[in-house]
Amino acid sequence: MNCYSNTALTTLTVNGASALTTLDCYSTGISSLDVSSNVNLTTLYCQETGISSLNVSSNANLTELYCNSNASLTTLTVNGASALKKLECNSTGISSLDVSNNTNLTTLYCNITGISSLDVSKNTNLTELYCNNTGITSLDVSKNTNLTELYCSSTGISSLDVSNNANLQSLHCSFTPLAYLNLGTNAGLTVTMPTTRTMYLEVTEDTFTITDKITGIDKDKVSIISGASYESSTGVVSNYTAGTPIVYEYDCGTAKGENKTLTVTLNLTGLKAESSITVTETLDKTYDGSAVNDTPTVSKTGSTGIVTYTWEKKKNATDWESIASAPTDAGTYRVTATVAADDDYKKASSTPVEFTISKADSTISVTESLDKDYDGSAVNNTPTVSKSGSTGNVTYTWEKKKNATEWESSSCTNRCRNVSCNRNCRSG
């Protein structure tokens, strides 16, 4: 039945035409169409009309449906059209499309519509797929091994893998926010793709694994050009800072023998800015019985968080040991200041600052008078002393005067028994 290009036609009723196989009402003024009783219908043309909804779920023999270029068409149901091979619903107002039951579908044009998702995993016979200029953000074509043409440009697709689509001859995926594209090796493939793109990535931690942030990306195909360090064996990204983008190159594979790469600029969001802190106070001192200042002066930028200190004591030439608080005793130490993170800035720790508490001077003098007349016994071998500073053991050395200017070591306390020796000994 042909009634196409008749804009004066505003009403069309085909309910009783059970033998109808082809209906062409293209470019008419109709605003509704009911084909539920036309079970033998195989081909339907209803593009450029005013219909707002179309249900072909009862048309099990329908193989071709052209309802494209209908801005007023907002609802399309094709679930029961199990024989459907060709569906063109592009340039319509539909916001969703379910083709999961249309397993014989070979051609699907749903481009320039409001759909935001598309599942073609059951459409293994699909050879042509046009879903460009839609709101879809992901597309899995791994099951569509017969696919020869794929147009998905101007969508929200952030990743695409066609490495399993060996029969693919034409791929158009430009103007998409791709984080990666896997082409595999396809000698017959013509590709129109972005070569550079910018995306935003929320990062709050000091390191991240790229496969955690970008699902499905192959870490071995990533090469970071600037803005961070990258460990390809683990996929860990590090040494990045707020305000500096990370730029990486992705090895997409080959098409027609030509290697294809994608350069992606990652603008990091959510990342706190860097802080810095330095201990500026000099803590070197001579032992005086009191600890060094336990909150030494610092210079810092960034975070307004609390400043804490860690203290260490030098054990030997290479090793340090932690101590609980600011030191009092003589020795060599170091202190590290850390400023805690706040809402906008990271925490930071200073370079350890080394300092020394030097030993204080001690004094000691013999206060006991040892002069005496010879009596056959030694003078007191631990004469009374007055001392300050050290609490160490007191020992004594003895000397005997040889002449007006010289002294010699002596054991006067034990062996001097004559008046001359007694009068000419000294202790120290």
Write out the chain in H/E/C secondary structure: CECCCECCCCCCCCCCCCCCCEEECCCECCCCCCCCCCCCCCEEECCCCCCCEEECCCCCCCCEEECCCECCCCEEECCCCCCCCEEECCCECCCCCCCCCCCCCCEEECCCCCCCCCCCCCCCCCCEEECCCCCCCCCCCCCCCCCCEEECCCCCCCEEECCCCCCCCEEECCCCCCCEEECEEECCCEEECCCEEEEEEECCCCCEEHHHHCCCCCHHHEEEEECCEEECCCCEEECCCCCCCEEEEEEEEEECCEEEEEEEEEEEECCCECCEEEECCCCCEECCCCCCCCCCCEEEECCCCCEEEEEEEECCCCCEEEECCCCCCCEEEEEEEEECCCCCECCEECCCEEEEEECCCCEEEECCCCCCCCCCCCCCCCCCEEEECCCCCCCCCEEEECCCCCEEECCHHHHCCCHHHHHCEEEC
At 2, which CATH number?
3.80.10.10
Answer yes or no: do 319 and 369 share one domain: no
Task: Report the mean per-residue pLDDT for the chain.
Answer: 93
User: What percentage of residues in the chain have a pLDDT greater than 70?
Assistant: 96
Nearest to 95 by CA among 80, 124, 117: 117
Answer yes or no: do 148 and 13 share one domain: yes
Whether residue 329 has pLDDT greater than 60: yes
Q: Which of 127, 157, 187 is the last residue of a domain?
A: 157
Answer yes or no: do 401 and 347 share one domain: no
Whether residue 418 has pLDDT greater than 50: no
Q: What gap in Å lies between CA 372 and CA 425, rounded to an integer?
A: 11
pLDDT at residue 296 in the model:
98
Model pLDDT for residues 200-209, shown as the tens digit of each residue: 999 988 899 9
pLDDT at residue 312 in the model:
98
pLDDT at residue 412 in the model:
53
Range of the domain at 395: 363-427
The tally of domains found in the chain comes to: 3
pLDDT at residue 428 in the model:
60
Nearest to 69 by CA among 54, 84, 88: 88
Structure tokens at 364: 């000691």
Answer yes or no: do 45 and 104 share one domain: yes
172, part of any domain: no
pLDDT at residue 417 in the model:
34
Model pLDDT for residues 233-291, shown as the tens digit of each residue: 999 999 998 889 999 999 999 999 999 999 999 999 988 888 999 999 999 999 999 99
Where does the pLDDT of residue 425 fall: very low under 50, low under 70, confident under 90, or very high at 90 and above? Answer: low
Model pLDDT for residues 132-146, shown as the tens digit of each residue: 999 999 999 999 999
| Dihedral over alpha carbons 153, 159, 165, 169 (to 10 degrees) | 30
Answer yes or no: do 334 and 418 share one domain: no
Which residues on adjacent β-strands are paired with residue 238? 229
Q: Which of 107, 131, 157 is the last residue of a domain?
A: 157
pLDDT at residue 206 in the model:
87
Q: What gap in Å lies between CA 191 and CA 283, rounded to an integer?
A: 67
Q: Which of 358, 385, 418 is the last residue of a domain?
A: 358
pLDDT at residue 427 in the model:
59
Answer yes or no: do 8 and 119 share one domain: yes
* This prediction's pTM: 0.69
pLDDT at residue 420 in the model:
36
What's the order of all strands across the beta sheet hosting 398-401? 407-409, 398-401, 425-427
Model pLDDT for residues 364-388, shown as the tens digit of each residue: 999 999 999 999 999 999 999 999 9
Write out 112-126 in H/E/C secondary structure: CCCCCCCCCCCCCCC
Nearest to 249 by CA among 218, 210, 222: 222
Residue 348 CB: number of other CB atoms within 10 A?
A: 20
At 301, which CATH number?
2.60.40
Whether residue 421 has pLDDT greater than 60: no
Model pLDDT for residues 297-328, shown as the tens digit of each residue: 999 999 999 999 999 999 999 999 999 999 99
176, part of any domain: no
pLDDT at residue 4 in the model:
78
CA distances from 357 to 62, 324, 330 (A): 94, 17, 5
Strands 331-339 and 320-323: unpaired
Residue with tokens 């509704």: 32
pLDDT at residue 415 in the model:
39
Where does the pLDDT of residue 426 fall: very low under 50, low under 70, confident under 90, or very high at 90 and above? Answer: low
Answer yes or no: do 35 and 127 share one domain: yes
Answer yes or no: do 119 and 41 share one domain: yes
229, part of any domain: no
214, part of any domain: no
